[in-house]
Amino acid sequence: MLPQARPKVLLVIPHLGGGGAERVIAILARELPSQSSEKYEVHLALVTGSAPAPEEFGPSLQIHALNAARVRSAALPLLRLIRQLKPALILSGIFHLNFLVLLLRSFFPAGTRILVRQNGTVSASLAYDRLPWYTSLLYRLLYRRADRIICQTQAMANDLSAELHLAPKRLAVLCNPIDVEEIRKSISQQQFQQQTTGPLLLAVGRLSPEKGFDLLLQAFALVRKTSPQLRLLIAGTGPQETALKAQSAALGLDSAVTFAGHLPSPWQYFPTATLFVLPSRHEGMPNALLEAAAAGLPIVALPASGGVVELLRDQPGVWLAPQVSAEALAASLLSALQTLQPGQRFAHAFIDGFRLDRAMRAYENLIDQTLAKEP
């Protein structure tokens, strides 16, 4: 009797090296084959990106680079790949790609299950992100085609359920997988360096309006009136990069602000940072925040979502602003800087729920449950 073939699991993202959504799927692609080698045959589709270096992932992962110019032009190559592979389950990891996968579902092999991971709070995205007018309609029509929708927090799930009129049982709340041990091992090999030129604030994220870096620059200018030696490092790229650099210059901050560009790992700056800043207007559950917490950095944050507030409220080593504004952020930064000792770090016990082994086990359980459902 021939051994039963392992079910194929296809993970789909636009490319590697993007924001938190791509990072989560990349971690799943790296970890699922090793943690479930006897259970699944794992594939990764990069819609707009080329294949990474072989050493970036283990030999068990099969990578398919579709090389489309953009997500919307990837329908035919993605459909061709899916009909060729015949995956038992597809997991897509960012909302506009989720739309494409769900739109094509009728053309997939019979019985194909689909999980989509929502990477932001739907109501806030629709209200503030200047998305095309039809985005709300696509959410309402297409998300009903998913077997389950993965949310990062219960607050996000509640928002999505109310906004799209979806039954709560269609939603799954799973923590982002964070390699806490790798982060701590990496920073333990570096020494804290006393800042002789002033405290250093670290912010990481895509340079786009929802991330609030314009608010951070305004707040930073206010705080520098009291702490003129203060410096700021922003790691990330995005559509607002030129505008943010112009804003920094207009505020007279050029000598105090560094735009570091995209960093595969911002951990190299953790030992020298005084604190981590989350200036987002709205967020799901940002990986950059969780990675900074894993490293023990003090955190100053705006109340970017219900999930962020639930996670950070009343936590030691966290200064959570009462509202989303530059003034509120500046006040929280001043409070933190006046309280912290040089090099001070915090345990941040809340990060335990995001540890790699726990998060991966939850994802694996959801995949098993979805595969076990009747098509």
Q: What is the torsion angle, in degrees rounded to the nearest 10, for the CA atoms of residue 9, residue 12, residue 15 and residue 19? A: -100
Percent share of the chain, pLDDT over 70: 93
The pLDDT of residue 152: 92
Q: What are phi and psi of 43, to 5 degrees?
A: -125, 150
Q: What architecture is domain 8-178+355-372? A: 3-Layer(aba) Sandwich (3.40)
Residue 37 confidence class, pLDDT cut points 50, 70, 90: low
pTM beyond cutoff 0.85: yes
- Interatomic CA distance for residues 278 and 290, integer angstroms: 11
324 pLDDT above the threshold of 70 = yes
Q: What is the pLDDT of residues 82-139, one digit of tens each?
A: 999 999 999 998 888 999 999 999 999 999 999 999 988 888 888 887 888 888 999 9
Domain boundaries, the chain: 8-178+355-372, 180-353
Q: What are phi and psi of 158, to 5 degrees?
A: -60, -40
Q: What is the pLDDT of residues 177-198, one digit of tens each?
A: 999 998 888 887 665 555 556 7
Average pLDDT, the chain: 89
Residue identified by tokens 């920094």 is 248
- Interatomic CA distance for residues 129 and 31, integer angstroms: 32
1 pLDDT above the threshold of 50 = no
Task: Report the pLDDT averaged over residues 293-301.
Answer: 96
CATH superfamily entry for domain 180-353 = Glycogen Phosphorylase B; (3.40.50.2000)
SS3 of 234, please?
A: strand
Query: Which residues, at least 6 apart from 6, have a Cβ–Cβ distance to it below 8 Å?
Result: 38, 39, 40, 41
Q: Give me the long-range contacts of 366-373 (CB less than 8 A, separation at least 24).
A: 366/115, 366/148, 366/150, 366/172, 366/174, 367/9, 367/40, 367/89, 367/91, 367/115, 368/39, 370/89, 370/113, 370/115, 370/147, 370/148, 371/7, 371/88, 371/89, 371/113, 373/113, 373/147
Decide if 142 contacts 151 (C-beta within 8 A).
Answer: no
Which range among 37-51, 86-100, 281-295 shows the weakest confidence by mean pLDDT?
37-51
35 pLDDT above the threshold of 80 = no
DSSP 1: -
Using CA atoms, how far residue 303 sits from 126, 197, 257, 313, in Å, is 18, 30, 24, 9
- Residue 65, CA atoms < 13 Å, CB-side half-sphere: 10
- Residue 218, CA atoms < 13 Å, CB-side half-sphere: 11
Task: Report the pLDDT averaged over residues 275-289.
Answer: 92
Query: Which residues, at least 6 apart from 249, have a Cβ–Cβ distance to it below 8 Å?
Result: none
Q: What is the pLDDT of residues 58-68, one digit of tens each?
A: 778 889 989 88
Residue identified by tokens 């579709």 is 66
The pLDDT of residue 189: 66
Percent share of the chain, pLDDT over 90: 64
The pLDDT of residue 126: 83
